Amino acid sequence: MNSGAIPPTAPPLSARAPGKCILFGEHSVVHGRPELLLAIDLYTQVAVRVASESRLNGDARAAADHPYLTAALRRMWPPGRPPLDWTTVSRVPRSAGLGSSAAFCAATATALLAASGGGERSILADASFAIERSAQGVGSPGDTSAAVAGGLISLNGGSGAPLWELGDGAQNWVVRRVRDPGWVWLVVYSGIPRNTAETVRAVGRRLAEPDGPALLERFAEVAHAGIAAVEHEDRAEVGRRLSENHLLLRDAGVSHLKLEALIEAVAPAVDGAKLTGAGAGGSIVALPKLGHEVEAQRRAQRAGGVAFIVRPSPTGAHLVEVPA
Ligand code: MEV
């Protein structure tokens, strides 16, 4: 697991960060409730070199217009420093609920931190969250913390060692390490893109209804129970809690007919399933029954999903050795 500091490194350099999948607590985490995430073994990689003008994948306009890149440069690359030429490659599907923007923010922040003299991982977690938040306008530090930490992490729950603490003035989040039980997970992208900020605002409105506070407390109970079940490696209980969390997300208004169809399609081969990420499209996550991983993947594909069997990424954001 990458838990060390980012070493000082002069460009040209490359950095990589994993996408993420939320097992419990999306949306309610924005309101300070617990969440459990795993960094997944699909990565975004950025390569950066000093150049005569700023470019992103060869395009100066793209560099000037990219909300996450411009937010990263504003925060971490003061005026007067030389322009940078960025090249990016990613295996994380975009707008799929799998943390593509968090992976981009964490990889970019890793590169800029290294090029600015290096620093602790907690600084990277803080910077990655600030960059994503300033470009997106809303949200928790869950996605970016998973991209920085790797493995499994919890926010505001769990019994593992604290990694760092982040706040936004309204909420505070303590990020902890959760031991990986060593399971594989099925992630299925519905092919329906969605906008995180819009769904976060819609759920905020739902939680402001008279029964909103009770719904938020149900989210918290299910997430606490789900995190404890992962810590105790209790697959049956994790499966039940995944499905229960999905019903709450449906009640919060962020499911989608295609997500429901995918969950139904994989049901015979999994212990539990739910939408993952912001919802209203995006992806589902399921815990395949032991020995039924490929059957679950086939079922999802037959139902029209793009299915990945994923493991937790053993590494968080890190510099990549590029062959000379
Ligand atoms: C998005 O991946 C997860 C949400 O909870 C928003 C956030 O935590 O920033 C919906």
The Å distance, Cα 144 to ligand 1 centre, comes to 10
* 17 Cβ below 6 A of ligand 1: no
| pTM exceeding the 0.75 threshold for the entire prediction | yes
Tell me the pLDDT tens digit for each residue of 120-152: 999 999 999 999 999 999 999 999 999 999 999
Contacts of 140 (CB under 8 A, 6+ apart): 29, 30, 35, 155, 171, 173
The Å distance, Cα 196 to ligand 1 centre, comes to 7
The Å distance, Cα 35 to ligand 1 centre, comes to 10
| Pairing, β 162-167 against β 55-56 | unpaired
Q: Are 186 and 58 in contact (CB under 8 A)?
A: no
* 27 Cβ below 6 A of ligand 1: yes
Tell me the pLDDT tens digit for each residue of 154-164: 999 999 999 99
Inter-axis angle of helices 100-115 and 67-76, to 10 degrees? 30
* 29 Cβ below 6 A of ligand 1: yes
* 140 Cβ below 6 A of ligand 1: yes
Q: What is the DSSP string of 59-70?
A: BHHHHHH-HHHH
* 142 Cβ below 6 A of ligand 1: yes
Residues 93-125 as b/e (b if ≥16 CB within 10 A, e otherwise) read bebbbbbbbbbbbbbbbbbbbbbeebbebebbb
- pLDDT tens series, the chain, 324 aa: 456 899 999 999 999 999 999 999 999 999 999 999 999 999 999 999 999 999 999 999 999 999 999 999 999 999 999 999 999 999 999 989 999 999 999 999 999 999 999 999 999 999 999 999 999 999 999 999 999 999 999 999 999 999 999 999 999 999 999 999 999 999 999 999 988 999 999 999 999 999 999 999 999 999 999 999 999 999 999 999 999 999 999 999 999 999 999 999 999 999 999 999 999 999 999 999 999 999 999 999 999 999 999 999 999 999 998 666
Q: Candidates 136, 196, 203, 207: which one to mutate for ligand 1, based on the most atoms within 8 Å of Cβ? A: 196
- H or E stretch at 124: helix 121-136
Cis peptide before 12 (omega within 30 of 0): yes
